Chain A
């Protein structure tokens, strides 16, 4: 430590050092709380997909046992491979739907803003891979914060 700091601390009494120590703890605590309060949403791009499967298999799992499948996939980053059945936009962001020829259900993927341009160039029937967070199943599986994977 710089010599003037050590000399300054030596001159001041013990009480002073304790006070400084206390303030340091408070500042560190406040900074940590602020980071925690502002902690970011999960970074899908940097996360590894916990599961990788095809659109057909994911839909089938949900139709076989919704409750268990929900526990398995909800809030997890998963990677899905499937065929594009529809591309649309919703409130400025693109939505890509992957279908399953064997069922009425699809996987609705709400894309992140960064992938909008690329998503809008996709064609129906194209086989693509999407990584995103699974939020559950209504009539279709719903995924959010999705990105296209090469």
Chain B
């Protein structure tokens, strides 16, 4: 299954199109936020890899689960060891497209991003509203969406069930530069 993402990425990056068609970032920002009565949990990932094909609107995103930075070391440990089991599933990936990419411009900046999100080895079709700002050299995608923890087979032990929300808000901000 990992092979599929390799192929998607490889294909996106190696297609023989002019350099201006592919935009890439290795420093994309993705964060998630869980709100519960007991505590709020949030983590940031600043090393997200993302490629956009401006000809087709296709997008492929990869990130390392271990790159999520938490304030508390213990939270990060629980996240990696117990919840997402990053030793088994080190990456989360997304493969999909920005709808109607060709129609986006200075005044029309809002669209939808749809595709398959894979976390903890489980795939889920998701969609998110996305704001696309296109300047000469940078394509910026920002947005946020919600996911259900249970959809990805992430088991929260009963003892901390009240510490972690069932629905997590995920935010992203990706500034892509031309890839050549």
Binding site for B on A (CB under 8 A): 36-42, 70-71, 74-75, 90-91, 95, 108, 110, 135-140, 142, 144
The reply to whether A36 and B74 contact each other, CB–CB distance below 8 Å, is yes
Q: Chain B contact residues (Cβ within 8 angstroms of A): what range?
A: 10 to 19
Q: A90-B46, A108-B47, A110-B46 are in contact. Are A138 and B62 (CB under 8 A)?
A: yes
Instruction: Kindly state the separation between the CA atoms of A90 and B26 in the bound complex, as whole angstroms.
Output: 11
* Across-interface contacts of A40 in B (CB, < 8 A): 73
Contact of B74 among A39, A42, A70 (CB under 8 A): A39
Q: Of the candidates A42, A90, A95, A138, which one forms a contact with B64 in the assembled complex, judged by CB atoms under 8 Å apart?
A: A138
How far, in Å, is A106 (CB) from chain B's closest CB? 9
CA distance A136 to B84 in the complex (A): 15
B169 at the binding interface (Cβ < 8 Å)? no
User: Given the complex of chains A and B, what is the CA–CA distance between A90 and B80 in angstroms?
Assistant: 24
Q: Are B26 and A136 in contact (CB under 8 A)?
A: no
Contact partners of A138 in chain B: CB under 8 A? 26, 47, 49, 62-64, 91
Contact across chains for A70 and B46 when beta carbons are under 8 A apart: no
Contacts of B115 in A (CB 8 A): none
Interface centre among B46, B47, B64, B80 (most CB of A within 10 A): B47
Restricting to B86-131, which residues have a CB under 8 Å from any CB of A?
87, 90-91
Q: Give CA–CA (A40, B91) in the complex, Å.
A: 25
B171 interface contact, C-beta 8 A: no
The answer to whether B91 and A135 have CB atoms under 8 Å apart is: no
Contact surface of B with A, Cβ cutoff 8 Å: 26-27, 46-47, 49, 62-64, 66-67, 69, 72-74, 76, 80, 87, 90-91
Complex A-B: 10 CB contacts under 8 Å = A38-B74, A39-B73, A39-B74, A41-B76, A70-B90, A74-B90, A75-B80, A108-B26, A135-B67, A136-B64
Chain A residues with CB under 8 A of B62 = 138
- Most chain-B Cβ atoms within 10 A of its Cβ — which of A40, A70, A110, A138? A138
* Chain A, residue nearest B80 (CB): A75
Query: Which A residues are in CB contact (< 8 Å) with B27?
Result: 90, 95
Q: How far is the CA of A135 from the CA of B26 in the complex (A)?
A: 14
Q: Contacts A75-B66, A144-B67; is A136 near B73 (CB within 8 Å)?
A: no
Q: In the bound complex, what is the Cα–Cα distance between A13 and B154 (angstroms)?
A: 52
The answer to whether B46 touches A42, judged by C-beta atoms less than 8 angstroms apart, is: no
Given contacts A37-B74, A135-B64, contact A110 B47 (CB under 8 A): yes
Chain B residues contacting A91 (CB-CB under 8 Å) are 46
A91, B76: Cα distance in complex, Å: 20
Bound Cα distance A137, B2 (Å):
13
Residue of B nearest to A40 (CB): B73
> What is the CA–CA distance of A71 and B87 in the complex, to the nearest angstrom?
7
A136 contacts B90, C-beta separation under 8 Å: yes
Is the CB–CB distance between B66 and A135 below 8 Å?
yes
